[in-house]
Amino acid sequence: MNTRTPARRILRTIGAGAAALLALSACSSSSGDTTTGTSGPPELSGTVTVFAAASLKEGFEELGARFERRHPGTEVTFNFGGSDSLAAGIVNGAPADVFAAASPRTMAVVTDRDGTAGPPVTFVRNQLQIATLPGNPHRISSLEDLTGPDLKVVLCDEEVPCGAAARKALDAAGLELEPVSYEQDVKGALTKVELKEADAAVVYRTDVRAAGDKVEGVDFPESADAVNEYPIALLEDAPHARAGKAFIALVRSAEGRKVLTGAGFLEP
Amino acid sequence: MRGERRVARPPRRPKGSRGAPLPLLLPAVLGLAFLLVPLIALLLRAPWRGLPEQLTGPGVWEALRLSLICATAATGLSLVLGVPLAWLLARTEFPGRGLVRALVTLPLVLPPVVGGVALLLALGRNGVVGRWLDAWFGITLPFTTAGVVLAETFVAMPFLVISVEGTLRAADPRYEEAATTLGASRFTAFRRVTLPLIGPGIAAGAVLAWARALGEFGATITFAGNFPGRTQTMPLAVYLALQNDPAAAIALSLVLLAVSIAVLAGLRDRWMRAT
């Protein structure tokens, strides 16, 4: 069945390769249908790409939907993840318009390389809370209660922001706490409590709020010493700078604040 | 992958007319480059000067030691449970055997994190089985070294089972039959005849399983958590170091790379001499 000459085979291979390339380039150009306003006035269009800390998910999705409704023709796509890996992505050339980080340190990764168009601004703050089982069966009422020997407590690893904040709060309280695990992110810590594998975790208020009635939140005074600030900035190489700027304006508006405080964040 | 061993060698083809044709050679070289360049990049970007310092931190050896112990224990457990399972699949007939075989290989394609979640739901403190372990024996597995071993076994055992089953299928069952007709029980026949016969297959499967267990990340961090010295294996240490200290992550990666290469080099002579 194979009677073709090598030359023909090579041609076929090249043809297939070319077709694949064409398909690829078609894909990439369709996603970049940018636009600088067709008629001039504040008509916005195009896709705003927002890289945002995972903890912002619920609030930002709500704001994204409102933004799209207000500006027909626009689309807001999100990339939620750990602030560190998002920052690394941006520094390495990921095409994004807006970066909202969970800590000034991670934002600094981008600003250090002049990656933002203008200085970042703090738009919300997040405070720690103890997440415990529904009904608080172990009667946890303070950070100190977590140091009891019979409790299984998980913390975030100190390499990630929620872990660094927890460490700060523990140090402020002068407490030693040996957790059963240092989780790789805040959701990982919360999940262990939701599944009842751990009795308590130190996480953000926003995560407790998002988990609904699967966990119960306990405030503790030392959390005031470890409040996380969330900076937001338009990126230097933003493909859709105008729309990106408009999205940031929405986030920082009274309306945006209301949505975010509804999700458990504190005013900046 | 095994199995060719006992098949008669195909007749030698006349030595290929010329070199490989271009449409094969080009993608082949690209494929090779794709697999090797990232590893070379790791070597190029390694912080060689700071390396001794990075690697002498106590955390590194703790993580490496734990990795080696857990991977070895997981391999042992896989052997104890996996070889009989492979025998069952290869040598007996029972209804639904095809389905069982498919299920055995499921962890091969399942994302490891999903495996971790499933383990948590089964063996966790509040899990389907784990609840009773806790109530009756006071055993809880999550957040323990035993949990790491179980997570690694879950992910690695299918490699062993598949490898051993393949070898068993290729091995002639008539030796066992002969042994049983001579009065040996089926178990004795398995122990004295089959086992030595499929030794190389078992060894190859065990090395594969060990290597897979050593690299396990998703199921481990999901089921066993991350605590230095207890459940923090090398891959976990690499991932977390990457958050703040890429140089440390690269240094740790180099160690894992070196260990993996050492394993493959050790393997080459005995089991990897393909065809």
Which of A12, A150, A180, A214 should we substitute to test contact with B (largest number of B Cβ atoms within 10 Å)? A180
In a domain? residue A162: yes
Q: Is A186 annotated as a binding residue?
A: yes
Give the domain CATH number at A163. Answer: 3.40.190.10
pLDDT tier for residue B3 given thresholds of 50, 70 and 90 = very low
- Least confident window among A132-146, B51-65, B100-114: B51-65
Residues A102 and A145 in one domain: no
Residues A215 and A138 in one domain: yes
Q: State pTM to two decimals.
A: 0.75
pLDDT of residue B15: 55
Note whether B143 contacts A180, CB cutoff 8 Å: yes
Domain count, chain A: 2
How far is residue A62 from each of residues A43, A44, A260, measured CA to CA in Å?
21, 19, 9
pLDDT of residue A50: 96
In a domain? residue A247: yes
Residues A120 and A236 in one domain: yes
Q: Which residue of A has its CA nearest to B27?
A: A13
- Rounded distance, CA B250 to CA A157, Å? 19
Note whether B125 contacts A154, CB cutoff 8 Å: no
Partner-chain residue, chosen from B125, B227, B244, that has the shortest CB–CB distance to A159: B244
Q: How confident is the model over A234-261, as pLDDT tens digits?
A: 999 899 999 999 999 999 999 999 999 9
- Rounded distance, CA B105 to CA A28, Å? 37
Note whether B225 contacts A9, CB cutoff 8 Å: no
Average pLDDT over residues B2-27: 66
Percent of chain A clearing pLDDT 90 (strictly above): 59
Q: What is the CATH number of domain B62-232?
A: 1.10.3720.10
Note whether A196 contacts B124, CB cutoff 8 Å: yes
Residue A213 in 3-state DSSP?
helix
Q: Is A55 annotated as a binding residue?
A: yes
Partner-chain residue, chosen from B23, B231, B240, that has the shortest CB–CB distance to A184: B240
Partner-chain residue, chosen from B126, B231, B242, that has the shortest CB–CB distance to A196: B126
In a domain? residue A39: no
Q: What are phi and psi of B221, to 5 degrees?
A: -70, -30
In a domain? residue A29: no
Note whether A152 contacts B121, CB cutoff 8 Å: no
Residues A132 and A118 in one domain: no
Which of A10, A154, A158, A184 should we substitute to test contact with B (largest number of B Cβ atoms within 10 Å)? A184
In a domain? residue A142: yes
Residues A80 and A193 in one domain: no
Q: How confident is the model over A153-196, as pLDDT tens digits?
A: 999 998 888 898 999 999 999 999 999 999 988 888 999 999 99
Q: Which residue of A has its CA nearest to B20?
A: A6
Average pLDDT over residues A72-91: 90
Given a contact cutoff of 8 angstroms between Cβ atoms, the answer to whether A247 and A67 are in contact is yes
Percent of chain A clearing pLDDT 70 (strictly above): 84
pLDDT of residue A36: 42
Residues of A in contact with B227 (CB under 8 A): 179-182
Is any Cβ of chain B less than 8 angstroms from the Cβ of A10?
yes
Q: How confident is the model over B45-97, as pLDDT tens digits?
A: 888 888 888 888 778 888 999 999 999 999 999 999 999 999 999 988 899 99
In a domain? residue A8: no
Residues A220 and A168 in one domain: yes
Residues A145 and A206 in one domain: yes
In a domain? residue A6: no
Q: Is A83 annotated as a binding residue?
A: yes
For residue A106, give the nearest of A182, A174, A159 by alpha carbon.
A159
Number of H helices, E strands in chain A: 9, 10
Q: Which residue of A has its CA nearest to B124?
A: A197
- Rounded distance, CA B113 to CA A207, Å? 21
Between B136 and B17, the more confident residue is B136
Residues A110 and A238 in one domain: yes
pLDDT tier for residue A70 given thresholds of 50, 70 and 90 = very high
Residues A198 and A237 in one domain: no
Q: Where are the domains of chain B?
A: 62-232
pLDDT of residue B46: 85
Partner-chain residue, chosen from B124, B143, B221, that has the shortest CB–CB distance to A195: B124
Residues A134 and A217 in one domain: yes
- The ipTM value here is 0.74
CA angle A43–A44–A48, rounded 5-degree value: 180
Given a contact cutoff of 8 angstroms between Cβ atoms, the answer to whether B275 and B4 are in contact is yes
Residues A196 and A217 in one domain: yes
Looking at residue B12, the DSSP 8-state letter turns out to be P
Given a contact cutoff of 8 angstroms between Cβ atoms, the answer to whether A146 and A166 are in contact is no
pLDDT of residue A107: 94
What is the span of the domain harbouring residue A208? 128-225
pLDDT of residue A202: 95
For residue A81, give the nearest of A63, A65, A102 by alpha carbon.
A102
Q: Cβ contacts of residue B101 below 8 Å, gap of 6+? A: B89, B165
Q: Which residues of B touch A (CB under 8 A)?
A: 21-23, 120-121, 124-126, 142-143, 221-222, 224-228, 231-232, 236, 239-245
Is any Cβ of chain B less than 8 angstroms from the Cβ of A7?
no
Residues A112 and A134 in one domain: no
In a domain? residue A102: yes
Residue A66 C-alpha, separation from nearest chain B C-alpha, in angstroms: 33
* pLDDT exceeds 60 at position A80: yes
Residues of A in contact with B240 (CB under 8 A): 157, 159-160, 182, 184
Q: Is A142 annotated as a binding residue?
A: no
